[in-house]
Amino acid sequence: MQVFAPAKINLSLKILGRQVNGFHDLDTLIAPISLYDEIRIDKGRPGNGIEFRCDDPSVPPGNDNLVVRAARAFFETTEIEPAVSIELQKKIPHGAGLGGGSSDAASVILALNELFDAKLSRQALARMAEPIGSDVPFFVFQSAALCKGRGEMVTPIKLKRRFSILLLKPAFAVSTGWAYSRWQDSREIPGVRYEAQEFADQTFVNDLERPVFEKFVFLAQLKMWLLSQPEVGTALMSGSGSTMFAVMRENADANAVANCAKVALDSELWTCECGTIG
């Protein structure tokens, strides 16, 4: 079985406070986008357990990998004997705020449910996904969604329109845990726009920009550069970064903007032209 695990962007991410367990209360609107990891899943021989391979050597193996944890959760919940081969081809960069690992985990849960005919409901799969990671339940629903709590309270919605997106990521990554830990004590950089932006009847805001920009000033510069481009309707960091995304105006040339960004700011920028889906 071949499955495609989409990346995501946070169209808005508001932090409401901190829970006693250390997690933060969120109010976030997340949309899947047309950038995918590719996963091949096949039934294995009985007794072989969970076999996992990945073309990216930086991806952790074994139980440290979210895909393996997701497969183990499925087999433990269903009490089906583990016998599966999983091969992952990475296209979504790490430490990018694009949810690649979470999407891979959710896609494996969905695929195993079908492959082994477990007939678990979407809600049951989301509950199974919750301990694996905060974004994993979102990806189980395969839809744009409003997510609350620490991300596990998912309400699927239909976006009013499809957005054309340009992703831009520098070579460095940002730790999600670190970004949240710095949220409360961080300060704004003068001259950088943090306030909510309105574009095409949608509000764009990310409360994690403040702590991340304070340490990674280049991301603040990248955002302000994007906002100065006539082709760009709005620009925002996705999740905890380090990816910035630009929402392109109608008929704008995203590839031309990407090339200009590389010339003006960083020749090593990773860029990807895509769009919201679902």
Of 33, 47, 46, the closest CA to residue 4 belongs to 33
What is the distance between the alpha carbons of residues 147 and 118, in angstroms, rounded to a whole number?
26
Please give the angle made by the CA atoms of 77, 80 and 85, to the nearest 5 degrees: 105
Structure tokens at 207: 């409360």
DSSP 85-142: EEEEE--SPTTSSS-HHHHHHHHHHHHHHHHTT----HHHHHHHHTTT-TTHHHHHTT
Residues identified as active-site? 8, 135
Of 191, 169, 139, the closest CA to residue 33 belongs to 139
In the DSSP assignment, the letter for residue 239 is: T
How many other C-beta atoms can be found within 10 angstroms of the C-beta atom of residue 244? 26
Of 214, 196, 239, the closest CA to residue 24 belongs to 239
3 state DSSP class of 243: coil
